[in-house]
Amino acid sequence: NPTRTSSRPLQQQWSTRISFILAAAGAAVGLGNIWKFPYVAGENGGGAFVLVYLVCIALLGVPMLMAEVLIGRRGQQNPVNSMARLAEEAGARPVWKNVGRLGVLTGFLLLSFYVVVAGWALAYIPLTASGSFAGVEPARIGQMFDGHLQQPLSLVGWSTLVLIMTLGIVGRGVRKGLEKAANLLMPMLFVFLLILVGYATTTGHFDTALAFMFEPNFDQLTASGVLIALGHAFFTLSIGGGAMMIYGSYLSPGVSIARTSILVAVLDTAAALLAGLAIFPIVFAYGLEPGGGPGLIFVTLPIAFGQMPLGTLFGTLFFIMLSVAALTSAFSLIEPAIAWLIEKRGMSRFKASVLSGSGIWLLSLGTVFSFNIGADWTLAGKTFFESLDYLVSGWMLPLGGLLMALFTAWVMKPDATAQELGGDSAGYRLWRVLIRYLVPTVIMIIFLQAIGIISL
């Protein structure tokens, strides 16, 4: 039975189940948790939004995550080859390998703007550490962020640094690169998060934050808020971008996909909630706006750090943590392209890393310029960055996720999926119902709503 032993060399497999969990949690926990989740929750009224988000993670996110990991583990190759192999096994048409291609492309496009935002986080480490925000008035801190965005060369420098760090790790391969980095960085990230939550309790506004995040007020929740919660649930778990598929392909047979996927989802959710609990008490303590938008982290927080006791120290810790979170996700976004170049085009890992890194670097310039010299190159009122984010997060990730769900639910033989998921148990049957009916229905509804055919 070819699926029971891995066809990959040992250096290309996670050495333990924990390593896979940490690497996959590294892929999941990223800018989505610490930068995006708090501000979208803030903009959508808090509690009720958080509740919908949690339901989406549990009922849709977890089964989809399992589907994507399952394809990777059974396919044992890069997303394109894995899809081709499983389509053949199921007696389906080879067109399904385009789902793998879509995943590789999605990760590639997403990384091109992810490195730019990660670059802001990296730039804010020395800025905070040098006390640049200490005692500075709020308006001036807002100007500092805007000023930072106005300097294309500096932005390029920081995003290039993010990319070089990413390639430096991914270039070393699965065991020596991805696994080693995740084993070191992920525990560190959670320790820093807990320290920051502890610090936030000293502001005296922790209760306000708890109420804001966990007391649902359904008046504040709109239909578009529900859609945002749903889209964010996919984004935050890294579903549909080929990342979890390639990480799954390095997972040895015999490890429970259900248990590990649930754990990854729990860690990702914990990171988002802890980030909220670290950020909102500070925001409320200084009378700032929780719905501060994308600038919440880069303007609102520095304002607060500038006034708090030990703000320089904890502010620095915060931006280190944000950078670490972004970096471990960046690894997972480039790995599908690299594995594809190695396995399909026969390149060395070094060559594949340099080539895909160069492509991402070139494309990242579009995002960099959209904040300054290219601010008015717009399409339907959206800048290059906004268009790319909308295309990837709003369309490509959900479409990739939908196709992977349909493939495992309706194309693969039940025997094959049952074998990967450890047999025909009650849990397996629940997964199958969710992935066959609930997931496709809900994603179709989002698409119809987005095209304007139905309105919620």
Binding mask 250-289 for ligand PFF (x = CB under 6 A): ----------------------------------------
Measured between alpha carbons, how far is 20 from 259 in angstroms, rounded to an integer?
A: 12
* Cβ nearer to ligand PFF, comparing 96 with 235: 235
* Cβ nearer to Na ion, comparing 221 with 326: 326
Q: Please say whether the dihedral angle defined by the alpha carbons of residues 245, 250, 166 and 60, taken in this order, is positive or negative.
A: positive
Which of the stretches 46-54, 61-69, 236-244, 366-374 binds ligand PFF when contact is defined by CB under 6 A? 236-244
Contact between 328 and ligand PFF by CB under 6 A: the answer reads no
* Cβ nearer to Na ion, comparing 234 with 431: 234
Residue 333 interaction partner, one of ligand PFF, Na ion, none, beta carbon < 5-8 Å per kind: ligand PFF
8 A C-beta contact, residue 66 and residue 261 = yes
Spell out the residues 6+ positions from residue 179 whose beta carbon is closer than 8 angstroms to its own. Answer: 14, 15, 19, 22, 23
Where does 202-222 have alpha helices with state H? 206-214
Token pair 């999941």: residue? 28
* Cβ nearer to Na ion, comparing 65 with 412: 65
Q: For 380, phi and psi rounded to 5 degrees? A: 50, 40
Token pair 């925001």: residue? 283
Q: How much helix, strand and coil, in percent to the nearest 5, is found in the chain? A: 80, 0, 20
Q: Which of 22, 196, 243, 274 binds ligand PFF (CB under 6 A)?
A: 243
* Cβ nearer to Na ion, comparing 32 with 171: 32
* Interface with ligand PFF in residues 32-71 (CB under 6 A): 32-33
* Interface with Na ion in residues 252-271 (CB under 5 A): 268
Tokens for 278, please give them. 């670290």
Which of the stretches 52-60, 217-225, 245-253, 328-336 binds ligand PFF when contact is defined by CB under 6 A? 328-336
Least distance (Å) between residue 106 CB and ligand PFF = 7
Using alpha carbons, select from 290, 285, 319 the residue that is nearest to residue 302. Answer: 319
Measured between alpha carbons, how far is 32 from 34 in angstroms, rounded to an integer?
A: 6
Binding mask 10-29 for ligand PFF (x = CB under 6 A): -----------------xx-
Least distance (Å) between residue 187 CB and ligand PFF = 18
8 A C-beta contact, residue 392 and residue 111 = no
AA identity, residue 141: I
Binding stretches for Na ion (CB under 5 A): 28, 32-33, 236, 268
